């Protein structure tokens, strides 16, 4: 009697035929399993486009494998574990193989189920390699990691008699990429909306009633051909203008020249190597300037892989950090449960509602900044962003929220809190011109909540931040405020109205 076929278990964010446990497999030598977990689906109030993206991409991938000749078991089960157990029982499976999951809990689950795990190769730096790089370092600066990545991957590197050097003579072109939003009314790169097919429509029909956000409209790739099309679009039309205004925010533009490729990379529809290669080729061909190409590549092989590395380095305890003892609930102005007069928040939340997306500065300096200065609970904020963004995942959101946005890890990741008043938003967005609040005022009815809460945040956390040399100037400025008592009184009112959804 022939031995039963082994099963290759593909998780919902590993949809890559050429990598992981499927890389060397052919039809007939294994069975493929995909499991939709009812517990996972019910665990959060998901954005409709986020949940649709994952479920539709899984279903499309299952169909592609069937078309190739694989026997595929795509099932829904109460939990992932239940799905695996039911599958092995039904088919008499003795061996299940999977690529390492993207989450700490997922890796533990594989061990508990006796699943054979092979290394995760969806990144350019495996987390064990990152741990080796981090070993013995007093601080884990992203810039140091990024330069190490550039050299080891030979990306934007010139090889001369003096040894390898960064292309253009500089590692970092940040200085060229911090322009405020242009006011010339220019058109920004557009993207193709993909036609929804029968699989998409079937997934939409069974989305839970408690999801939120706009209906799926074909914005987000659910197949590899669609993801490749989105990559080509960006390289052809978005990469060149990306750099200078990558930190700018416009109310009427939800993505500007950003690539919107993160969801495709996070699901396995694109690999970071092909994204980086495409960007570097554009520079070498003279179709995109170095500052834009370097800035984009830094996001992919620098920041994205750095976040992946520190997630694994610091888990599982990292998810419990709350260094500033922040306990406030996520504001109803964020969740869409209440409107707000703050124009910048209205704009960003509308982008999230319409697309399940906001670019990195909107996330950090509008949503994260307000959550930080208001004292929003880091776990609650992480869960909300995880559920609300199409590129959300635990490994993405924990370091970005707990470390970068909310300083909840006490400085393990960021050297200082990313707190600011309304001046930054006024400089980098067009929101303040249509807002009833004045970014220059910190007291009174017209005081910008960001400005008021910035000074209150410093006063509230003075003891915790006093030992941070990068905060010395800000704390000294706070101590010199003649109206600090009035600012803090105004902050009490702002926070009460923020909580109540009446701000």
Question: In this structure, what CATH number is given to the domain that contains residue 83?
Answer: 3.40.50.620
Same domain as 358, residue 255: no
CA distances from 496 to 84, 340, 349, 437, 492 (A): 47, 13, 20, 17, 6
3-state DSSP call for residue 162? Answer: coil
Place of tokens 């981090």: 134
Confidence of residue 1 (pLDDT cuts 50, 70, 90): low
Q: What angle do CA 57, 45, 72 make, to 5 degrees?
A: 25
Which of 86, 118, 150 lies at the terminal end of a domain, its last residue? 118
Mean pLDDT of the chain: 96
What are the tens digits of pLDDT across the range 54-63?
999 999 999 9
Q: Which position has the higher pLDDT, 176 or 227?
A: 227
Work out whether the CA dihedral 320, 326, 329, 333 comes out positive or negative.
negative
What are the tens digits of pLDDT across the range 326-367?
999 999 999 999 999 999 999 999 999 999 999 999 999 999
What are the tens digits of pLDDT across the range 417-441?
999 999 999 999 999 999 999 999 9
Same domain as 479, residue 364: yes
Q: Looking at residues 162-181, what average pLDDT do you find? A: 91
Does 248 map to a domain?
Answer: yes
- Which ranges constitute the DSSP H helices of 165-323? 198-205, 224-233, 239-242, 262-267, 272-284, 290-297, 305-314
Confidence of residue 175 (pLDDT cuts 50, 70, 90): confident
The DSSP H or E segment spanning 144 is: helix 142-153
Same domain as 362, residue 286: no
- Rounded Cα distance between 173 and 293, Å, is 10
70-94 burial: b if 16+ Cβ within 10 Å, else e: bebbbbebeebebbbebbbeeeebe
Which of 118, 135, 151 lies at the terminal end of a domain, its last residue? 118
Confidence of residue 149 (pLDDT cuts 50, 70, 90): very high
Check residue 2 and give its pLDDT: 61
Give 185: exposed, middle or buried? Use CB within 10 Å, 0-12, 13-18, 19+. exposed
Which of 93, 118, 143 lies at the terminal end of a domain, its last residue? 118
Identify the weakest region by mean pLDDT among 103-112, 173-182, 284-293.
173-182
Does 393 map to a domain?
Answer: yes
Helices and strands (DSSP H and E) totals, the chain: 24, 7
pLDDT over 80 (residue 474)? yes
Check residue 186 and give its pLDDT: 87
Q: Looking at residues 154-162, what average pLDDT do you find? A: 92
Check residue 309 and give its pLDDT: 98
Q: Are 402 and 318 in contact (CB under 8 A)?
A: yes
What's the number of domains the chain is made of? 3
Same domain as 323, residue 300: no
- Rounded Cα distance between 419 and 374, Å, is 10
What are the tens digits of pLDDT across the range 210-228?
999 999 999 999 999 999 9
Work out whether the CA dihedral 191, 195, 200, 201 comes out positive or negative.
positive
| DSSP character at residue 399 | I
Same domain as 461, residue 430: yes
Q: Are 146 and 299 in contact (CB under 8 A)?
A: no
Percent of the chain with pLDDT over 90: 95
CA distances from 215 to 52, 92, 196, 352 (A): 9, 40, 11, 12
Q: What's CA 447's distance to the chain center, in Å? A: 31
Domain span holding position 373: 319-500
CA distances from 351 to 134, 359, 363, 376 (A): 36, 9, 11, 21
Check residue 109 and give its pLDDT: 97
Does 249 map to a domain?
Answer: yes
How far apart, in Å, do the first and last CA atoms of the chain sit? Answer: 71
């Amino acid at each position: 009697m022939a031995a039963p076929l082994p099963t290759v278990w593909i998780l919902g964010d590993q949809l890559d035929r050429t990598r992981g446990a499927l890389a060397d497999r052919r039809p007939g030598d294994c069975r493929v399993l995909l499991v939709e977990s009812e517990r996972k689906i019910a665990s959060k109030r998901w954005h409709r486009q986020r949940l649709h993206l994952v479920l539709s991409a899984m279903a499309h991938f299952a169909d592609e494998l069937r078309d190739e000749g694989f026997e595929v078991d795509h099932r829904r089960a109460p939990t992932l574990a239940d799905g695996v157990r039911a599958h092995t029982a039904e088919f008499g499976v003795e061996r299940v193989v999977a690529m390492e999951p993207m989450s700490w809990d997922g890796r533990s689950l594989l061990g508990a189920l006796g699943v054979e795990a092979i290394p995760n190769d969806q990144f350019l730096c495996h987390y064990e390699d990152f741990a080796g790089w981090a070993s013995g370092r007093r601080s884990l600066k992203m810039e140091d990691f990024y330069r190490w990545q550039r050299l080891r991957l030979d990306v934007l590197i010139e090889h001369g008699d003096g040894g390898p050097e960064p292309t253009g003579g500089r590692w970092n072109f940040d200085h060229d990429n911090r322009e405020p939003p242009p006011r010339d009314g220019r058109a920004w790169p557009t993207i193709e909306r993909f036609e929804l097919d029968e699989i998409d429509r079937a997934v939409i029909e069974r989305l839970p009633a408690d999801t939120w956000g706009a209906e799926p409209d074909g914005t987000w790739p659910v197949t590899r051909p669609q993801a490749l099309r989105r990559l080509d679009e960006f390289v052809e039309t978005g990469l060149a203008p990306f750099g200078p205004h990558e930190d700018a925010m416009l109310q009427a533009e939800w993505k500007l020249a950003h690539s919107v490729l993160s969801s495709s990379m996070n699901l396995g529809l694109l690999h970071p190597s092909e994204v980086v290669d495409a960007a570097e080729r554009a520079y070498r061909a003279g179709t995109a300037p170095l500052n834009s190409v370097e800035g984009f590549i830094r996001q992919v092989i620098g920041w994205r892989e750095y976040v992946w590395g520190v997630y694994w380095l610091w888990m599982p305890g990292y998810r419990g950090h709350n260094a500033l003892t922040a306990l406030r609930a996520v504001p109803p102005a964020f969740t869409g449960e209440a409107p707000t007069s703050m124009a910048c928040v209205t704009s960003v939340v509308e982008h999230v509602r319409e697309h399940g997306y906001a670019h990195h500065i909107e996330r950090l300096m509008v949503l994260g900044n307000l959550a930080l200065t208001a004292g929003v609970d880091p776990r609650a904020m992480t869960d909300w962003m995880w559920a609300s963004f199409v590129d959300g995942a635990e490994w993405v959101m924990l370091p970005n929220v707990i470390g970068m946005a909310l300083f909840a890890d006490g400085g393990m990741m960021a050297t200082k809190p990313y707190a600011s008043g309304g001046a930054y938003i006024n400089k980098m967005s067009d929101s303040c011109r249509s807002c009833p609040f004045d970014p220059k005022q910190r007291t009174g009815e017209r005081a910008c909540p960001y400005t008021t809460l910035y000074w209150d945040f410093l006063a509230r956390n003075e003891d915790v931040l006093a030992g941070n040399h990068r905060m010395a100037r800000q704390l000294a400025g706070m101590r010199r405020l003649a109206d600090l008592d009035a600012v803090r009184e105004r902050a009490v009112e702002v926070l009460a109205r923020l909580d109540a959804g009446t701000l």
